Structure 1
Amino acid sequence: MTTPASTWTRRLIAFVAALLLAGAWGSVVQTQFNLQALTPFVDVPPSVRLMTTLQDLAGFGSLYALMLLVAWLPAFLVAMLLARRWPAARTALFALAAGVAVIVAIRATDAAVPPPVLIDATRSLAGLLTMALGCVVAGALFAHWTRRPA
């Protein structure tokens, strides 16, 4: 028998895991988009790509995960409430909530900070959607990891 405390612990662990996954995905995506933008001007060897990716995971990854946390909390609350009404759509609701929340957070941050964009990779639609894809997958995984036992 599962207790309410164990259920919330499982949800918290799943949320943190999904957040870390999406944060790492977004960090790697923004790094690779940025390095690709430099390739017409300089050679970017694989060792530099790897080192830059690891440095960005340590630096930018934590900032991005914080942005996701702020965006996901209200989005996941809405998804949870909607999933009570439409349980068959639970995975899609959490995936959609995570993806839309990151797009809204990125565009809201862009509107609030002085540079044209905070995350250069999101300057293009392809970059923005690639960043959001990691959140969609993470949201779906969260829903899967926290589903009720059969």
Structure 2
Amino acid sequence: MPQNSRLWLPFGLAVFVATVLGSIVQTQFNLAALQQLGASIPADIRLQATTHDLLGFSPTFAALVIAAFIVALPLTAWLAPAQGVLRWLIFLLAGALAVWLALTAANAVAPMPTLIGANRTLAGTLALMLCGSLGSLVFARFSAAAR
């Protein structure tokens, strides 16, 4: 990260947003896969599973997001213009690409076919990438204020 310590808070917020959203996405994709197999999943079980994964799965996803963002966000902040639509677009793409690269790297070394279940489908991968984009936009928003 840049030496400017004021950027740690935006970085932490970006990781938090991407991680929480990614955990929720992962849970919902897993539950949808179970429903396709015929399982009935009422709303209370869906909420319970989501809460469980926020506590149990999110540290794993947070590690991937941190590894991805610690490179992508400072590099993007350095490359992106200070203002304008192009800045937001660059951060949007950087967050998505960072998460995709982290998932690809994790899947290359994981003993199972994919480390994260939602990453087994294109829709799931795109949804996780969107979570990275939203986290990256949080960084763009709050790091601009820290300058």
Q: Distance in 1 between matches of 2:47 and 2:73?
A: 33
Max radius of gyration: which structure?
A: 1
Classify the secondary structure of the residue corresponding to 1:108. helix
Q: TM-score, normalised by structure 1?
A: 0.87
Q: Any idea what SS the aligned residue of 2:105 has?
A: helix
Conserved 8 A contact 1:18-1:138 = yes
Q: Which amino acid aligns with 1:28?
A: I
Q: Tell me the alpha carbon deviations over residues 14-57 of structure 1, each in whole angstroms, 9 at most, x when there is no partner.
A: 11111111100000001000001111321111111001100000
Q: Which deviations, in whole Å up to 9, do the C-alpha atoms of 1:90-141 show, x marking residues without a partner?
A: 2222222111010011011111111000111111111000111111112112
Is 1:67 paired with 2:68?
no
Q: Which of 104, 113, 119 is the equivalent residue of 1:107? A: 104
Aligned residue number for residue 27 of structure 1: 23
Cα deviation, residue 81, structure 1: 2.1
Alignment of 1:111-130 (within 5 A): 111-130=108-127
Distance 1:133 1:108 in 2: 18
Q: How many residues align?
A: 142
Runs of at least 5 residues in structure 1 that lack an aligned partner in the other structure: none
Which residue of structure 1 lines up, in the alignment, with residue 14 of structure 2? 18
| TM-score, normalised relative to structure 2 | 0.89
Aligned with 1:78 (options 59, 63, 75): 75
Give, as a single letter, the amino acid of the residue that structure 2 aligns with 1:72: F
The partner residue of 1:139 within 127, 136, 139 is 136
Is the contact made by 1:91 and 1:139 (CA closer than 8 Å) also made in structure 2?
no
Report percent identity of matched pairs: 35
Q: Distance in 2 between matches of 1:149 and 1:30?
A: 32
C-alpha separation between the residues in 2 aligned to 1:39 and 1:124?
16
Report the CA distance between 1:149 and its aligned residue.
7.8
Partner Cα distance (2:79, 2:146) in 1: 19
CA RMSD of aligned residues (A): 1.8
Aligned AA (2:61): Y
Kindly indicate whether structure 1 or structure 2 has the higher relative contact order, using CA contacts under 8 Å at least 6 residues apart: 2
Letter in 2 for 1:93: I
